[in-house]
Amino acid sequence: MPVSSIIHIRQLNKYIDTQEQKVFVLCDSNSYKHCFHILQEHLPGSLIPIKVKTGESQKNLVTCTYIWEQLIKNKAQKDAVLINLGGGVISDIGGFSASTYKRGISYYNIPTTLLAMVDAAIGGKTGFNFGHLKNIIGIIQNPEKVVLHPGFLESLPERHIINGFAEMIKHALIDGQQQTNKILSVTNVRDYLTQTNIFENIRVKQKIVHRDLHEKDLRKILNLGHTIGHAIEYAALKNKKKILHGEAVAWGLIVMLRMSVAKLQFNQSKAEKIIDFIKKHYSKPAWLQLYRKDILAALIHDKKNTRLNINMVLLKDIGDARYNVVCTNDEIGKIWRSI
């Protein structure tokens, strides 16, 4: 299945007919308040909202069950459409719920956060957390379209802008020196978020997903920084601490860069320049060292692992990511202490 094409929100009514189809809109309280009326302007007609609470804690089977119940209550048939209007949590649980309801109905992702625009809404990964483990249950099923409206970012708080920027840093490191240099020259993140720069960053992921939708090999490089990042998120969930996905990934990138120097001889001065840039934008949570054992223990559950090996994505150089690099807990622990 090819990667979903990206359209602007003003094109949406060419693909969805609200007169002929039942159209459901999954949103949280924030996206309903700030974005639903904008969607209604571009897609006139009857839209049935399905509202859930905000936050990562909603990414669970209970929420999926609620979505299915609402679809059944409103007699959604196979030709129904589910629009996921929100951030990554909404596209993850909405995509999973749509893909499993009656063995699959069409869904569209309309990301309203920077993180969702450049990452979560792209590529067809869906699912939810289970037992503190991040994205452990899910399937890959592409949306019909990914619908962009950069204007949604105007109402996004600064912390959530920085949250999504971590994935843009990751994409730049995967892509090559030119885009990395552009990223490292950024002083004001919000000013950098032009439609051109967002689309350029998205294309990095699109090209990779197009070649390897089901993450058999190449797509694994999109997990750069995520082995540690997901483990940090696990520790936060377990210990009732708050951290956003991009903040965890940013610190995962720092560990990854130090590990790349140790394992793949990545240039150390180049690594430290990138690390300094990341630290300017992402402060270290006070509890990070306190739960080091929980973070290291979570690594064994990473979805890239094989035969109980911890497989990380590291950089041989900027633009040269390597996947399935076996790293031990001792090696990672040593790097962790150094940060």
Supply the residues annotated as catalytic. Answer: 103, 125, 167, 205, 215, 219, 223, 226, 230, 245
**CA 69 – CA 269 distance, rounded (Å):** 55
Distance separating alpha carbons of residues 112 and 143, to the nearest angstrom: 16
Of 148, 105, 120, whose CA–CA distance to 12 is shortest? Answer: 148
Q: Tell me the HSE value of 336 on the side-chain side, using a 13 A CA sphere.
A: 23
Q: What is the dihedral of CA 298, 301, 306, 312, to 10 degrees?
A: -50
Helix (H) or strand (E) holding 106: strand 106-111
User: Which SS3 state, helix, strand or coil, does residue 302 take?
Assistant: coil
Q: What is the 3-state secondary structure (H, E, C) of 158-225?
A: HHHHHHHHHHHHHHHHHHCHHHHHHHHCCCCHHHHCCHHHHHHHHHHHHHHHHHCCCCCCHHHHHHCC
User: For 192-197, which contacts have Cβ atoms below 8 Å and span 24 or more sequence positions?
Assistant: 193/114, 193/150, 193/153, 193/161, 194/150, 195/148, 195/150
